[in-house]
Amino acid sequence: MKEGNTEWDLFICHASEDKEDIVRPLVEALIEKGFHVWYDEFTLTIGDSLRRSIDKGLAQSKYGLVILSPNFFAKNWPQTELDGLAARERNGEKVVLPVWHNVDERYIRQFSPTLADKVSVSTKKGIDYIVEKIFKAVKPGKIKGSVANNSTPEESKVHVEDCMKKIYNPFEDLEIKEIAVEELKRLGARKQLMEIAAGPWVHHLIKRRARDALKSMQ
């Protein structure tokens, strides 16, 4: 795949049952490291066509990070995504990067000898280890949405903290919270926007704003 045709460094192929346990923490760590990641929770927004969005993610990601687990092999949808990634390897291009989660080589070989033979990394090693291994295999693209103002790092940090206080203040107006999300976007505060987008105590409209902001930063 030509560099100019890619929008993301990594497409995250996984079973939804593994989100809380490993997928979301791993994605957050990858983004912190500088990777441009296609991950459904942070990329899809209300009204998007699921099929078209995923097809675009599969086609325009340099690599597919595949979280192989018992949940993965028990479902058809993630395996369909894997088929789309594997099809790109027929020209000798390395695309699939396997991560083993609660499985071993013998288990994977029952379903796919080809996958079992690929060099992989296990979640038993921890998220930091996985990220370092992926970093060595994949050169992250330029991060979009980084801080682009004339504030000092300390001033930006204070501003980010102020925005977060407004968003989590239960007595603050929604309009003020929406402005705070836009400020976080302007400051390139991806980690905080990801926290808001996934936060259980955040108003659904603010979560949507945060997801939209993350999508526009890609």
Residue 188 domain-assigned (yes or no): yes
- Higher pLDDT residue, 45 or 80? 80
Q: What's the whole-model pTM score?
A: 0.61
pLDDT at 33: 82
Return the pLDDT at 24. Answer: 92
Domain boundary among 110, 137, 164: 137
pLDDT digits (tens, 9 = 90+) for 144-196: 333 333 445 666 777 888 889 889 888 888 878 888 888 888 788 888 999 99
- Residue 160 domain-assigned? yes
The verdict on 10 and 85 lying in the same domain is: yes
Residue 28 falls in the annotated catalytic set: no
Quick check: is 157 in a domain? yes
Question: What value does the mean pLDDT take over residues 186-214?
Answer: 87
- Whether 176 is covered by a domain: the verdict is yes
Q: What is the per-residue pLDDT for 123?
A: 96
Domain count, the chain: 2
Residue 194, burial from CB neighbour count under 10 angstroms (0-12, 13-18, 19+) = buried
| pLDDT confidence of residue 17 | 92
Is pLDDT above 90 for 65?
yes
The domain containing residue 191 runs over which residues?
153-216
> From the candidates 3, 32, 81, 172, which is the catalytic residue?
81
pLDDT (mean) for 128-154? 65
The larger pLDDT score, comparing residue 6 to residue 213, is at 213
Q: Are residues 112 and 43 in the same domain?
A: yes
Same domain membership, residue 78 and residue 30 = yes
Chain mean pLDDT for the chain: 82
Average pLDDT (14-36) is: 89
* pLDDT value at residue 18: 93
What confidence tens digit (pLDDT) does each residue in 29-63 have? 898 887 888 888 766 555 556 567 677 778 888 89
